[in-house]
Chain A
């Protein structure tokens, strides 16, 4: 670590100061006005080293105009005497051993009389234009050799001379300033600009007299002019491309191939990518989406208090995910491709961006869900198990186009239009085998098959206009959004179930067989249009009032038809009317809101809310009488927030959000469904709206100097009249459920952590904790069931890394889960321990080795006693080639011990569920990764490290 030079200079200065007084070298003299022969007091006398113009010392003249200067070393010095409204006096003095004391005698100062001569350019050549007082040269009209600097270009321009020191003289005057794209570059020397920038990057050279900053600021011309050259750069010099190709083949038929390229020229960007993989990779991850994807779904906003928020909204289907990885169950094979074009014009005032995407996916999923259902303890057998095996295959493909157009109308207003459209086709076949049993007997066995072949279309558009008024804080924004969605699907539903009923006390069993074979046709369309207007008015410097109003219309129709497969099409019972429906829906929403915001330097708080009035109309096209169902309801959305930002690294915030939610139409009046005979829903038309109250807080403190960080956060939500389920369990184990209002449901969470950075040891250490508590009330066979689900966990993080050498990290975490259900006084407690270990080491010859271990230990519980602990171990070895390590060969062994299982365990409503499903297991892969790039025509740096022009 180098010491700052000024400090060294300071130290050397201090050590010298002792001897300065004893210096033998001295220069003296006196300053006089030649005309009036007055002695000039306070004239500035400055001494520079003649060799490099470095300031040696300075003084002011005394009352009699006299001065004396001491110098440390012998040599030649430039003496500069200045006095207001007198011309500067400059001379060279030499001191040495033979002449240690120089008396300059009387220095005569001459009053300033300066004639400004103006050079008028009369000639006009095609490549030179004169606009007002600006002379403009079109750079390309003057031939220079390849890779020539701007200095060489300037030498070719008529009326401009460049001397050997790089000083530029334009129209007979020395150029004082050189601007690049209108901006001043301060260097010790304007020649740096002309020598470091390539001539071919320059579009135009403009020569003009710049008024002083003061006169530009005040509008009053003080007559001062500076000869200035502005170099306007070409946009298209910012040309280049970059991309990545990754080809990987593995054992057991695994593959992962990717190719992507982004070519840019100025503001224009053209990119394309393609991915084919069966390793879970299904799209661009967020890291690559910005580079190659045109980023249609992501938004970045900078808020009033300087926070940056980026969010990503994917389409309404499963073809995309935030990290580009498949998150669901089963084994996916995916093919994805896309094209992107974007450009900007008129100084970025117009921006157009568009994308095309294609995606195809096949997903094989095999899974098993085992649920322990706890019912009323008075019942003969309080517990039973639901064991469902599922096997599904789905294949789908999708095309999507989108476009964005942004127009900055002026510096205060902008217009943004976005639109997208997509079509998709998905075919799914799923087989279920469900057994319901208790400790004594099997209650039912069901085999079920569902298929579906769905076609979907969407067309969405939105328009946003924003205007900022001259008064600070006054803004207006208008948005109009449109969504259209249609879906048609054909499928079949077949099931065959045996229900075993205990018919008499002696133990005889009656078997009831149910079977069904139906064709299903679902058809739905939905068109929604909303308009919003919002206005902010500053009531004072710190108080802002926000008002907004929105109107929304939603028209939709949904038709679900069931046909009995075993009857001929003409049969009157061919259409199963019980399980068929045809509805039209009209929903009109009016929403108004207000918010009062107080903005102080460190404290912000706001409160307000919104009210919405909803008119809901449902028309039943199947029934003739009372076919219209209407409901009007009002929703409330109160909110308040408080933020205290002590510094950039330390902040505290507290929020409250409330909202009412209406029961859905399915909860009030469900459609009769027969897709799952073990779960049957019935309606409840006395259901009320629920009211959610959420509070949360956050605290962050990052201490940069001491290298510690603290974070804390938490929240609590309680619900008044929460909508919960009341279940009746049939003897066969099927559930008939109804939605009801309950009180007492809540959910709370908290997290916190503390960490240290031991810089000297390259070690980071931290610990963190989590608490989750929740209460859910349900009713089972008419008995109130209070379920408490609490989880506590504690983790430690350890990180040891040396830059470009190795990186080791170890993160163990222990959790305790506690679930109770009042219905059967049951308690389920279990511990889980997870260990994550990561390491990578840089080896000689550009080799790198890395490993990742995830070891999960799950305590067995009485209900589920099989071993669910897994040790997931992955390792790789890679070697990089070429300069800049552009090429990489990598061998990866994934899940070396072949232990990966998809697994989830959770407790809801006194029931404990364990889910396991197939997922990608052990494989090896060899991949070749090539990152290629061609950078834009860069500026030659030529050791001018202090100066950099970025193209």
Chain B
């Protein structure tokens, strides 16, 4: 089945080369969080034996899927199909891990609905501008030639992105955007997480697939950051991870 899908994709790709550029469509992202390494991070001499036991019973990766609809005016990133084996409980859940992010390229605005613990926030802000360092590494993702770019969020958290100029929309998963093409892979080593495009479908998104999220407490990105930081500041090593997830 997957091979057929891929062959179809290849056919699309051929037609793509004729049209040369993609301006609209849907990207399916697969997010993988390495739970074992998250657990390793929590390990100390005190709890090592116990943590090892927990680890032995957990799958290595927590996989979830997201759909990203885009055209040259706007885009919407939201949770996609259900994973076959979702990891439940504290290791499978980070705050803000099922976000809906709407970006308006014309107005330069982003509206993101984020469930952070008991509170649903509706972050309304300008599109995030990061300093991207462009590298010469090239990687093929879903048939697109992607270039590597690296940036930093929250003072010290590295973000590695692979973007393709062949998709002429400067979007990407979560609130990442602003590169000279579509971001098809994001890796955040400190969060042991990657977002990789599994397939790109070039059908034009329907209006209802680009619906602006409305629910949640309206805040700016900074207000949301301050609130979350204030709430978790005494959590030690959990604190930063929660905040990093929240700002993605």
Number of interface residues of B (CB under 8 A): 91
Name the segment of B63-71, B99-107, B187-195, B207-215 touching the other chain: B187-195
Q: From residue B44, how far is it (CB to closest CB) to chain A in Å? A: 10
Find the A residue at minimum CB distance from B189: A186
Q: How large is the interface on A (under 10, 10 to 19, 20 to 34, 35 or more residues)?
A: 35 or more
User: What string of 1s and 0s marks CB contacts (under 8 Å) between A290-316 and chain B?
Assistant: 110001000011111111101000000
Q: From residue A364, how far is it (CB to closest CB) to chain B in Å? A: 34
- Contact across chains for B158 and A188 when beta carbons are under 8 A apart: yes
Q: From residue A470, how far is it (CB to closest CB) to chain B in Å? A: 12
- Contact across chains for B222 and A3 when beta carbons are under 8 A apart: yes
- Contact across chains for B49 and A6 when beta carbons are under 8 A apart: no
Q: Which residues of B contact A4 (CB under 8 A)?
A: 153-155, 221-222, 225, 247
Q: Which residues of B contact A214 (CB under 8 A)?
A: 6, 140-143
- Contact across chains for B118 and A650 when beta carbons are under 8 A apart: yes
- Contact across chains for A85 and B54 when beta carbons are under 8 A apart: no
A287 to B50, CA, bound (A): 11
A213 in contact with B196 given A84-B166, A290-B46, A946-B189 (CB within 8 Å): yes
B222-237, CB < 8 A from A: 222, 225-234
- Contact across chains for A290 and B49 when beta carbons are under 8 A apart: yes
A7 in contact with B93 given A219-B3, A704-B231 (CB within 8 Å): no
- Top 4 A-B pairs ranked by shortest CB distance? A306-B89, A306-B88, A58-B180, A704-B117
A10 in contact with B119 given A55-B134, A287-B46, A759-B234 (CB within 8 Å): no
A186 to B196, CA, bound (A): 13
- Contact across chains for A52 and B133 when beta carbons are under 8 A apart: yes
A9 to B227, CA, bound (A): 20
Q: Which residues of B contact A703 (CB under 8 A)?
A: 117-118
- Contact across chains for B222 and A7 when beta carbons are under 8 A apart: yes
Which of B46, B87, B125, B233: most chain A CB closer than 10 A? B46
Q: From residue B219, how far is it (CB to closest CB) to chain A in Å? A: 11
Q: From residue A527, how far is it (CB to closest CB) to chain B in Å? A: 31
- Contact across chains for A648 and B90 when beta carbons are under 8 A apart: yes
Q: From residue A37, how far is it (CB to closest CB) to chain B in Å? A: 17
Q: Does A242 contact B (CB under 8 A)?
A: yes
A305 to B92, CA, bound (A): 10
- Contact across chains for B181 and A301 when beta carbons are under 8 A apart: no
Find the B residue at minimum CB distance from A289: B49
4 additional A-B pairs beyond A188-B133, A188-B158, A290-B48, beta carbons within 8 Å, are A13-B129, A82-B165, A84-B166, A290-B47
Q: Which residues of B contact A226 (CB under 8 A)?
A: 139
- Contact across chains for A946 and B158 when beta carbons are under 8 A apart: yes
Q: Which residues of B contact A83 (CB under 8 A)?
A: 20
A717 to B232, CA, bound (A): 40
- Contact across chains for A9 and B129 when beta carbons are under 8 A apart: yes
Q: From residue B166, how far is it (CB to closest CB) to chain A in Å? A: 5
- Contact across chains for B89 and A308 when beta carbons are under 8 A apart: yes
User: What string of 1s and 0s marks CB contacts (under 8 Å) between A120-140 and chain B?
Assistant: 000000000000000000000
Q: Does A53 contact B (CB under 8 A)?
A: yes
A1-39, CB < 8 A from B: 1-7, 9-10, 13-14
Q: Does A627 contact B (CB under 8 A)?
A: no
- Contact across chains for A55 and B179 when beta carbons are under 8 A apart: yes
A783 to B215, CA, bound (A): 67
Q: Which residues of A contact B188 (CB under 8 A)?
A: 186
User: What string of 1s and 0s marks CB contacts (under 8 Å) between A217-233 and chain B?
Assistant: 11110101010000000
Q: Quick one: which of B6, B150, B165 contacts A220, CB cutoff 8 A?
A: B6
Q: From residue B240, how far is it (CB to closest CB) to chain A in Å? A: 11
A290 to B165, CA, bound (A): 53
- Contact across chains for A946 and B157 when beta carbons are under 8 A apart: yes
- Contact across chains for B49 and A176 when beta carbons are under 8 A apart: no
- Contact across chains for B92 and A9 when beta carbons are under 8 A apart: no
B55-103, CB < 8 A from A: 56-58, 84-85, 87-93
A14 to B7, CA, bound (A): 45
- Contact across chains for A704 and B118 when beta carbons are under 8 A apart: yes
- Contact across chains for B153 and A5 when beta carbons are under 8 A apart: yes
A82 to B129, CA, bound (A): 23
Q: From residue B89, how far is it (CB to closest CB) to chain A in Å? A: 2
B111-150, CB < 8 A from A: 115-119, 125-126, 128-135, 137, 139-143, 145, 149-150
Q: Which residues of B contact A412 (CB under 8 A)?
A: none
- Which residues of B approach A to under 8 Å, CB–CB? 2-3, 6-7, 17, 20-21, 34, 37, 40-41, 45-50, 53-54, 56-58, 84-85, 87-93, 115-119, 125-126, 128-135, 137, 139-143, 145, 149-150, 152-158, 160, 165-166, 168, 170, 178-181, 187-190, 194, 196, 198, 221-222, 225-234, 247
- Contact across chains for B126 and A14 when beta carbons are under 8 A apart: yes
Q: Which residues of B contact A310 (CB under 8 A)?
A: 50
Pairs across A and B, CB under 8 Å, 21 listed: A1-B229, A5-B153, A6-B130, A42-B168, A44-B168, A55-B149, A85-B17, A176-B139, A188-B160, A213-B196, A226-B139, A287-B46, A290-B48, A300-B50, A306-B88, A310-B50, A348-B56, A647-B118, A702-B118, A703-B118, A803-B234
Q: Does A706 contact B (CB under 8 A)?
A: yes
A914-951, CB < 8 A from B: 933, 945-947, 950
- Contact across chains for A6 and B128 when beta carbons are under 8 A apart: yes
Q: Which residues of A contact B230 (CB under 8 A)?
A: 759
Q: Does A835 contact B (CB under 8 A)?
A: no
Which of A9, A242, A649, A702: most chain B CB closer than 10 A? A9
- Which residues of A approach B to under 8 Å, CB–CB? 1-7, 9-10, 13-14, 42, 44-46, 48, 52-55, 58, 60, 80, 82-85, 176, 183, 185-188, 212-214, 217-220, 222, 224, 226, 242, 262, 287, 290-291, 295, 300-308, 310, 348, 472, 647-650, 701-707, 759, 803, 933, 945-947, 950
Q: From residue B39, how far is it (CB to closest CB) to chain A in Å? A: 10
- Contact across chains for A218 and B3 when beta carbons are under 8 A apart: yes
A945 in contact with B156 given A84-B21, A218-B6 (CB within 8 Å): yes
Q: Which residues of A contact B160 (CB under 8 A)?
A: 186-188
Q: From residue A208, how far is it (CB to closest CB) to chain B in Å? A: 17
A302 in contact with B137 given A6-B153, A187-B160, A704-B118 (CB within 8 Å): no
Q: Which residues of B contact A44 (CB under 8 A)?
A: 165, 168, 180-181
- Contact across chains for A295 and B49 when beta carbons are under 8 A apart: yes
- Contact across chains for A188 and B180 when beta carbons are under 8 A apart: no
Q: From residue B163, how far is it (CB to closest CB) to chain A in Å? A: 10
A307 to B225, CA, bound (A): 29
- Contact across chains for A291 and B49 when beta carbons are under 8 A apart: yes
A45 to B41, CA, bound (A): 42
A10 to B194, CA, bound (A): 24
Q: From residue A143, how far is it (CB to closest CB) to chain B in Å? A: 31
Q: Which residues of B contact A188 (CB under 8 A)?
A: 133, 135, 150, 158, 160
A272 to B66, CA, bound (A): 50
Q: Which residues of A contact B232 (CB under 8 A)?
A: 704
Q: Which residues of A contact B231 (CB under 8 A)?
A: 704-707, 759
A14 to B154, CA, bound (A): 19
Find the B residue at minimum CB distance from A302: B57
- Contact across chains for A950 and B40 when beta carbons are under 8 A apart: yes
Which of A224, A304, A308, A701: most chain B CB closer than 10 A? A308
- Contact across chains for B2 and A212 when beta carbons are under 8 A apart: no
A348 to B52, CA, bound (A): 11
- Contact across chains for B58 and A302 when beta carbons are under 8 A apart: yes
- Contact across chains for B41 and A54 when beta carbons are under 8 A apart: no
- Contact across chains for B6 and A705 when beta carbons are under 8 A apart: no
Q: From residue A810, how far is it (CB to closest CB) to chain B in Å? A: 20
Q: Quick one: which of B58, B87, B140, B247 contacts A222, CB cutoff 8 A?
A: B140
Q: From residue B152, how far is it (CB to closest CB) to chain A in Å? A: 6
Q: Which residues of B contact A2 (CB under 8 A)?
A: 155
Q: Which residues of B contact A290 (CB under 8 A)?
A: 46-50
Q: Which residues of A contact B49 (CB under 8 A)?
A: 290-291, 295
A220 to B128, CA, bound (A): 37
A705 in contact with B47 given A188-B160, A218-B3 (CB within 8 Å): no
A217 to B5, CA, bound (A): 12
- Contact across chains for A7 and B180 when beta carbons are under 8 A apart: no
Q: Which residues of A contact B115 (CB under 8 A)?
A: 647
